[in-house]
Chain A
Amino acid sequence: MSQKESPVGTASQSDTARRPSTHVRRRVGGLAVAGGSALLLAGCADTPLDTMAPESPIANEINNLFIGVGIVAVIVFILVQGAVIYMARRFRVAPPKDESQIYPDEDFPEQIHGNTRLEIGWTILPTVIMAVVAFFTLGTLFNLDDVSASDNRQIQKVTVVGQQWWWEFQYHLDDDDIPDIVTANELVLPVGEEIYLDVTSRDVIHSFWIPALNGKRDAVPGRTSPWTIEAGALGRFPGECTEFCGLSHAYMEKWVIGVTADDWQVWADNQMADAEVPTDADALAGWEVFSAQCASCHVLNGLTSLNDTDAADSFEIYDGANRLIDKQTQVSGAAPNLSHFASRSTFAGGIFELYENIDDVDYLDLAQAGDLNRGQLEAWITNAPEQKSNAWDSPTGQRGMTPFEALSSDDVDHLVAFLMTLD
């Protein structure tokens, strides 16, 4: 599995997202904490998942707290280490000539059994240090809990659903419980707006994490955990799954895409439109393949939705918006909604780039101006488990995408043509 992609940076936006100079400066701070070598690290490659390169006010506050505590820790370490080295030099005695006698007789240092004042002193000292650390910790903790989302925000909240091994984002733009936009692996957000998240899972525990923007929040099945996220700058911010979730735990990426408020509205209007039956002949043939092979798991708004729910006992409502999928297919009952597949920059749990030139094209123009990464997409369609381990053939129920090796190359071509109409 070497197909993971270059994580940061679309087009014009990525320059503001990267700011390499601050990376280096902040990383040196982190390195001092690690007690490692700053020189070596500064020479390292860019690390897009860096926890010490904050791009949002939240991440920045966390980072400042960490650096402060880290400095205290480094000072304490230097004092202890210094004491040990000093004593090792000053008080060491040479080994005796005769190994059978460990010390020369009666060469004793002063036999001090203790000193109550000192003991009280060095009980109070760490207590005071810890109290100071605790003061700032609790301050930050409750401050971060105090969300500053505005009342007239564009997004009421986003429900984040972890699933083996991809992420679903359900946007709620109004107050009802039905999601207005359902997408996968890429959370497109207007820059500078703190967004409420409800984090949950359909199967096992995952963890939602975009290091540049905020810490982690576990996605626990049966619970919704509140969290917030704010894209503090334009750009693509990657995040890994960080709660061990089985086979492809390492291949479950998600991205926050920070765009301007206006761009976000354009994006959202497009996402809310239904998918349509294509007019192009190849794509039309692809739609037929899709409805025969793919539609029992993947939803296309307006195409695979059934309006007559009574007619389909074996189907159940997926994501609450009258989108129905086959109960029998997946353990979780869900697969990524592909209504606007071609508008995304990645697929397969965010690990493969859908377009080869995502760094050069504006995110909103990808469907039009992107160079399709056709080989990877076709490989994924014909044999997904080979591209990324999953449990499609598990005796306890399918988890992950089935291989479709029986598809003819024409079928695959048609399918890709159809998928590319889903912009």
Chain B
Amino acid sequence: MAITEDRPLALESGEVVTKNNRPLGALTRPQSDVGWASWFTTVDHKKIGIMYGVGSLFFFLFGGVEALLIRIQLSQPGNSFLSESLYNQVFTMHGVTMVFLVIMPMAAAFANYLLPLQVGARDVAFPRLNAFSFWCWLAGAIFLNTSWFLGGAPDGGWFAYAPNTSATFAPGNGMDFYAIGLQIAGIASLVSAINLIVTVLNMRAPGMTLLKMPIFTWMMLVVQFLLLFAVPVITIALFLLTFDRSFDANFFNVAEGGSPLLWQHLFWIFGHPEVYILILPAFGIISEVIPTFSRKPIFGYPFMVGSGIAIGFMGWGVWAHHMFVSGLGPISVAAFSLSTMFIAVPTGVKILNWLATMWGGRLRFNTSMLFAVGVITMFTIGGLSGVTHAVAPSDTQQTDTYYIVAHFHYVIFGGALLGMFSGFYFWWPKVFGHKLNEKWGKINFWTMLIGFNVTFGPMHVLGLQGMARRHHSYAEADGFTVWNQVVSLGSFVIAIGVLAFLINVVVSRREAKRNPVEMGPDPWDARSLEWSTASPTPVHNFDKDPVVQYQDDWWHRKWGTNDEGTIVRIAHPEDIADDGSNTNVHLPSPSYWPLVLSFSLPIIGYAIIFSLWLLIPAGIMFLAGFVGWALEPADDPEAAHGHDDHDDHGDNHDAATVSVGAEGASVD
């Protein structure tokens, strides 16, 4: 925590500052931090993290159903289960949903919940902006999906190649929903990136130098920088697309001198860093899980950090490998082929370091560890098939076939998603105060892993046999039938695996309610600061500001080395962890305005698509959101925080009271 102060402010004169200038009416900040209504106004990073998690899982079911529809359609040659038009909408929305509405917000769930905890802070730097990010994302997600009922979903592919997405070739509203919906969700990512970067750089606990941060925090920091630079690129591309479609601009219109390849470059300059935005969070998660369940520190910490940063940098120089068949010319192709191959080096370093971390360890294969090891093996397959794509001449055969569908599902499902599931099992007790059931966890893992391989393994074969992707159907004579049936079968096994996870959530919660087990702060003997406070995390995170001496500081508080060099216990976690009993913590007040401001954005979207008259209510709401945000008191002394029962008369000076966030501190 960089910003701390005593509260209430004691003036030099000894006069006590009293707060009698509270505004009235709508500008009063909401009070409650319990009950369902509090979720709409919360600025607590933990609640926001949970909402990201719930939201991403909700859309995960959406995207999953879309995947199953695709697989039903392709389970028979010449099938007409879905019409061509509907098929195009479904596969477009499957991609858009899984990338923007599932993996990214799921990573945001972990980042929001864990980054402040891991760096020893009480919240993110800008709590209201954090709430704004979440509601913006949700507004964009809902907006995108309302397209199903308003003339048809986007049908130009998640990559939306111009000019197939122009008003001429996609006359429906679908691609407008795509362009504007992603724009809104992009605001969420951008704002959140700035918020988390400031949090990590400015709000680390005393003593936590950059090279003492947990790897998860490091990878998330890299991701936020990638977002910070990548999102503006897609923002521009989406604006150009919206202007082409809605206002007769000609950025991609060949007849008027526009360039379709401009879209491809913009999309992939965003799109390839986006791949690392999707995968690095999972790398961070398993870099926490594997050491914990190997009972060893991470192997080669500086190299893990360095390779993550290297991936972040090199990720900017590989975008045109998506365009090897676009006709760039052999010199460009050669350059991007080389850069793509060499990004495999830092990735390989990471894999070898995880293996070295496990080497000689005490491996506990609980569900979290199984998922983490699943990432190592499955991602390796995706990485290696990625190398075969970097080989540009052979990519001209494999690109846009099912081989590449297999490749990126091994990366994004086998890497990112399995990593997040590892994270769910790992941090569930911290968030909800009880573990997930191990028996259901094993069922969850094995059905998902087997289903995943049965689904995406044969896609390599189908791709090499020449089955093109995004094809509505195939002919019996193409010889693709048998493997497609296997693939479709596998997709339903995955669905069972996901169902097992949901069952696990319910079963574990019921069991925890029926038979509450005293959940220690640190059930896994873990290493980073989030385990040094009670589970579930108290609303104020830490009773006192953590002070950090070591990398893996929490572990070093529990364990030391005796004279013989043997590791001995210094303390039990229950004895040294915060119990959440400190009530003298001042936290930022909830606010209505992030919600108001963010939900004005989809109305602007509807205005662009349907009628510009809608801009009037949208504009009023937008301005109200802005004005309310600006005018509401930054810090409402009357606002209760449940735990904030300190009196405001200043006779409590010795207690460690802390105000959170740049917003609160600057005004107080």
Show the binding face of A for B, using Cβ within 8 Å: 1-7, 27, 30-31, 33-36, 41, 44-52, 59, 61-63, 65-66, 69-70, 72-74, 76-77, 80-81, 83-84, 87-88, 91-93, 95, 100, 102-103, 105-115, 118-119, 122-123, 125-127, 130, 133-134, 137-138, 140-142, 144-145, 164, 199, 203-205, 207, 209, 211, 214-218, 220-223, 225-226, 240-251, 331, 389, 394-397, 399
Complex CA gap A6/B395 in Å reads 27
The answer to whether A27 touches B464 (Cβ under 8 A) is: yes
Show the binding face of B for A, using Cβ within 8 Å: 77-78, 80, 83-85, 88, 156-157, 161, 163-164, 167-171, 254, 259-261, 294-297, 299-303, 325-327, 330, 333-334, 337-338, 341-342, 344-345, 348-349, 351-353, 355-356, 358-366, 373, 376-377, 380-381, 384-385, 387-388, 390-401, 406, 457-458, 460-461, 463-483, 517, 520, 523-525, 559, 566-569
Chain A residues with Cβ under 8 A from B569's Cβ? 105-106
Chain B residues with Cβ under 8 A from A211's Cβ? 397, 466
The answer to whether B171 touches A51 (Cβ under 8 A) is: no
The answer to whether A134 touches B524 (Cβ under 8 A) is: no
Complex CA gap A138/B394 in Å reads 11
Chain B residues with Cβ under 8 A from A27's Cβ? 464-465
Chain B residues with Cβ under 8 A from A114's Cβ? 299-303
The answer to whether A6 touches B348 (Cβ under 8 A) is: no
Q: Which 10 A-B pairs give the minimum distances between C-beta atoms? A: A215-B396, A49-B466, A2-B78, A225-B327, A34-B460, A4-B475, A250-B471, A222-B254, A47-B479, A66-B394
The answer to whether A223 touches B388 (Cβ under 8 A) is: no
The answer to whether A395 touches B330 (Cβ under 8 A) is: no
Query: Nearest chain A CB to B345's CB is how many angstroms away?
Result: 5
The answer to whether B474 touches A34 (Cβ under 8 A) is: no
The answer to whether B394 touches A69 (Cβ under 8 A) is: yes
The answer to whether A84 touches B355 (Cβ under 8 A) is: yes
Query: Nearest chain B CB to A270's CB is how many angstroms away?
Result: 29
Chain A residues with Cβ under 8 A from B460's Cβ? 33-36
**28 interchain pairs (CB within 8 A)?**
A4-B473, A5-B475, A48-B477, A63-B394, A80-B380, A93-B362, A103-B362, A103-B364, A103-B525, A108-B559, A109-B294, A109-B362, A126-B348, A137-B341, A138-B337, A138-B338, A141-B333, A145-B330, A204-B164, A205-B260, A211-B397, A214-B396, A216-B396, A216-B397, A242-B400, A242-B469, A244-B156, A244-B400
The answer to whether A88 touches B457 (Cβ under 8 A) is: no
Query: Nearest chain A CB to B598's CB is how many angstroms away?
Result: 32
Which A residue sits closest to B92, measured CB to CB? A244
The answer to whether A248 touches B84 (Cβ under 8 A) is: yes
The answer to whether B385 touches A73 (Cβ under 8 A) is: yes
Which A residue sits closest to B254, measured CB to CB? A222
Chain A residues with Cβ under 8 A from B83's Cβ? 389
Complex CA gap A84/B348 in Å reads 15
Beyond the given pairs A73-B384, A102-B364, 11 more chain A to chain B contacts, judged by CB atoms under 8 angstroms and listed by A's residue number, are A35-B460, A47-B465, A48-B466, A51-B398, A51-B463, A66-B397, A91-B363, A137-B337, A137-B391, A215-B395, A216-B399
The contact of B468 among A7, A61, A127, A240, by CB within 8 Å, is: A240
Chain A residues with Cβ under 8 A from B161's Cβ? 204-205, 243-244
Complex CA gap A41/B523 in Å reads 47
Chain A residues with Cβ under 8 A from B345's Cβ? 123, 126-127, 130
Complex CA gap A241/B472 in Å reads 12
Complex CA gap A6/B479 in Å reads 10
The answer to whether A46 touches B479 (Cβ under 8 A) is: yes
Query: Nearest chain A CB to B449's CB is how many angstroms away?
Result: 13
Chain A residues with Cβ under 8 A from B351's Cβ? 80
The contact of B377 among A81, A108, A226, by CB within 8 Å, is: A81
Given contacts A211-B466, A389-B84, contact A80 B525 (CB under 8 A): no
The answer to whether B301 touches A144 (Cβ under 8 A) is: no
Query: Nearest chain B CB to A165's CB is how many angstroms away?
Result: 10
The answer to whether B472 touches A250 (Cβ under 8 A) is: yes
Given contacts A134-B341, A394-B171, contact A216 B325 (CB under 8 A): yes
Query: Nearest chain B CB to A7's CB is how many angstroms away?
Result: 6
The answer to whether B457 touches A34 (Cβ under 8 A) is: yes
The answer to whether B377 touches A84 (Cβ under 8 A) is: yes
Given contacts A80-B377, A102-B525, A222-B254, contact A107 B477 (CB under 8 A): no
Complex CA gap A207/B299 in Å reads 46
The answer to whether B77 touches A7 (Cβ under 8 A) is: no
Chain A residues with Cβ under 8 A from B477's Cβ? 4-7, 48
Complex CA gap A88/B479 in Å reads 39
Given contacts A27-B464, A103-B364, A389-B83, contact A51 B397 (CB under 8 A): yes
Chain A residues with Cβ under 8 A from B387's Cβ? 69, 72-73, 130, 133
The answer to whether A133 touches B391 (Cβ under 8 A) is: yes
Complex CA gap A130/B468 in Å reads 28
Chain A residues with Cβ under 8 A from B337's Cβ? 134, 137-138, 141
The answer to whether A241 touches B478 (Cβ under 8 A) is: no
Chain B residues with Cβ under 8 A from A30's Cβ? 461, 464
Chain B residues with Cβ under 8 A from A215's Cβ? 325, 393-397
The contact of A62 among B365, B396, B467, by CB within 8 Å, is: B396
Complex CA gap A27/B466 in Å reads 11
The answer to whether B363 touches A92 (Cβ under 8 A) is: yes
Chain A residues with Cβ under 8 A from B348's Cβ? 122, 125-126
Chain A residues with Cβ under 8 A from B78's Cβ? 1-4
Which B residue sits closest to A83, measured CB to CB? B355
Given contacts A105-B569, A113-B299, contact A144 B393 (CB under 8 A): yes
Chain B residues with Cβ under 8 A from A205's Cβ? 161, 163-164, 260
Query: Nearest chain A CB to B363's CB is how many angstroms away?
Result: 5
Complex CA gap A66/B398 in Å reads 10
The contact of B483 among A44, A77, A218, A246, by CB within 8 Å, is: A44
Chain B residues with Cβ under 8 A from A1's Cβ? 78, 80, 84, 472-473
Complex CA gap A409/B327 in Å reads 47
Chain A residues with Cβ under 8 A from B261's Cβ? 220, 223
Query: Nearest chain B CB to A114's CB is how many angstroms away?
Result: 4
The answer to whether A66 touches B391 (Cβ under 8 A) is: yes
Chain B residues with Cβ under 8 A from A41's Cβ? 461
Complex CA gap A207/B469 in Å reads 12
The contact of A91 among B170, B362, B380, B391, by CB within 8 Å, is: B362
Complex CA gap A374/B365 in Å reads 65
The contact of B330 among A5, A142, A164, A243, by CB within 8 Å, is: A142
The answer to whether B388 touches A242 (Cβ under 8 A) is: no
Chain A residues with Cβ under 8 A from B399's Cβ? 216, 242
Chain B residues with Cβ under 8 A from A209's Cβ? 468
Complex CA gap A418/B313 in Å reads 64
Chain B residues with Cβ under 8 A from A127's Cβ? 342, 345
Complex CA gap A78/B297 in Å reads 26
Which of B169, B373, B381, B472 is packed against the most chain A CB atoms within 10 Å? B169
The answer to whether A247 touches B88 (Cβ under 8 A) is: yes
Complex CA gap A50/B401 in Å reads 11
Which B residue sits closest to A211, measured CB to CB? B466
Complex CA gap A110/B345 in Å reads 28
Complex CA gap A217/B392 in Å reads 12
The answer to whether A250 touches B84 (Cβ under 8 A) is: yes
Query: Nearest chain B CB to A201's CB is how many angstroms away?
Result: 9
The answer to whether B471 touches A396 (Cβ under 8 A) is: no
Chain A residues with Cβ under 8 A from B365's Cβ? 88, 92
Chain B residues with Cβ under 8 A from A102's Cβ? 364, 523-525
Complex CA gap A62/B344 in Å reads 21
Given contacts A62-B396, A250-B473, contact A87 B391 (CB under 8 A): no
Query: Nearest chain B CB to A113's CB is how many angstroms away?
Result: 5
The answer to whether B163 touches A122 (Cβ under 8 A) is: no
Given contacts A145-B330, A250-B84, contact A216 B393 (CB under 8 A): no
Query: Nearest chain B CB to A40's CB is how many angstroms away?
Result: 8
Chain A residues with Cβ under 8 A from B366's Cβ? 95
The answer to whether B300 touches A115 (Cβ under 8 A) is: yes
Complex CA gap A33/B380 in Å reads 13
Complex CA gap A115/B467 in Å reads 46
Chain A residues with Cβ under 8 A from B466's Cβ? 47-51, 211, 240
Which B residue sits closest to A244, measured CB to CB? B470
